[in-house]
Structure 1
């Protein structure tokens, strides 16, 4: 079969999930994230919620693939989100999927001002001071996380003050 000049060399990525939820479990799992997941499920929207995965310092290749195979990523920024390197790595991966695959990314600010996330102020400033100490030999990683938070917080999103 001859290839068309319009065919892509790389086949489009098959989407396994409609929505990927990124959240800090201790802040939102038994509250907002669970309610959002249930509401999406009730509307027959296939949603991935990573609350059952084994945690480590970095996200797994399987989770990276899951992010890539989602049409939309919802990032629920909360007070302790930036204390989790796992969450920060998810944001980086989500933004890479946005660039590569055109994934839709929607931030939700749960009990946190968007400017605190964007500028890493308040509790995010404290979290990054700790990260800078912990990763003093890998500061490029910290800079990558800072840039990802700023980029994600600049996207159109929702402030959950209206949901509480």
Structure 2
């Protein structure tokens, strides 16, 4: 899961294609794990937290930096997502980056009703009631969490209900959508470069972005040129 750094890098130049925000207790060893692996097989650089990052009370700086350095954030809303102050801090940071840094956000409603997310009803109402009872949590922070949930809950995303939709199919749809968007971003990065369009199209064809096959493409040139490259693009050709 998920993130503050004194100096926030601007896009492009991100370290990750996708940041995964999720409640580990609910989906770490199931849906989120399968989604992460599907991204890896497609050559998409995804960030997910490790369990040892959550030993403290405050959100880890590694998570804040990962959010700031990602192109997309996928928020897996599960039944106990709002139980975690970590998840809610991640969510607030994701919304902040969505507004300030063009981070794109895709919600996944995992066995929960999207309206419960937007309105903080059902299991989310219970979670926020518990947070309200905690005198150590600032009321302003709680409102920030609620606003973030409402905003992301209103976004178009994937809704996965038990026994009604295949998890594998849902993951396939998400990975394909992100892959296509990243491919379009790659093309946009080359706008205005003279004589590069045909070369980009040839490279995209060689990469076969829609394929699950592993492709290896060697890149060579003057020493040091690679330092100016976009780290996301390099993951596409690894």
Q: Is TM-score (shorter-chain normalized) higher than 0.5?
A: yes
Aligned pairs for 1:1-164 within 5 A: 12-13=10-11, 14-55=13-54, 56-135=56-135, 138-161=138-161, 162-164=165-167
Q: Which runs of 5+ in 2 are unaligned?
A: 1-7, 168-238
Q: Following the alignment from structure 1 to structure 2, what is the Cα–Cα distance between the partners of residues 100 and 90? A: 15
**Distance in 2 between the 1:76 and 1:27 partners?**
10
Q: Is contact 1:25–1:51 with CA below 8 Å preserved after alignment?
A: no
Structure 1's unaligned 5+ residue stretches are 1-9
Report the aligned-residue RMSD. 1.6
Moved more, 55-64 or 146-155: 55-64
Per-residue deviation, residues 17-50 of structure 1 (Å, max 9, x unmatched): 0000000001001110000001110101000010
SS of the residue aligned with 2:28?
helix
Return closer, same or farther for 1:137/1:95 CA change in 2, 3 Å cut-off. closer
Structure with the higher fraction of residues in strand conformation: 1
TM-score by length of 2: 0.62
Q: 1:79 to 1:44 in 2, by over 3 A?
A: same
Task: Report the Cα distance in structure 2 between the residues aligned to 1:155 and 1:138, rounded to whole angstroms.
Answer: 27
- SS of residue paired to 1:87: helix
- Greater C-alpha radius of gyration: 2
Q: TM-score scaled to structure 1, two decimals?
A: 0.89
> Structure 1 residues 136, 119: closer, same or farther in 2, change over 3 A?
farther
Higher mean C-alpha displacement, 80-89 vs 130-139: 130-139
Give deviations 1:39-89, integer Å, cap 9, x for gaps.
Answer: 110101000010344213221222111101000000000000000000000
CA contact (8 A) 2:53 2:60 kept: no
Change (3 A) 1:137 1:65: closer
Is the alpha carbon distance of 1:106 and 1:138 closer, same or farther for their aligned partners in structure 2, counting shifts above 3 Å? same
The question of whether the paired residues in 2 share the 8 Å contact of 1:132 and 1:142 is answered with yes
Contact 2:106 2:155 in 1 (8 A): yes
Partners of 2:77 and 2:112 within 8 A in 1: yes
SS state at 1:50 partner: coil
Q: How many residues align?
A: 155
1:81-131 deviation digits (Å, cap 9, x = unpaired): 000000000000011111111011000000000011110111111100000
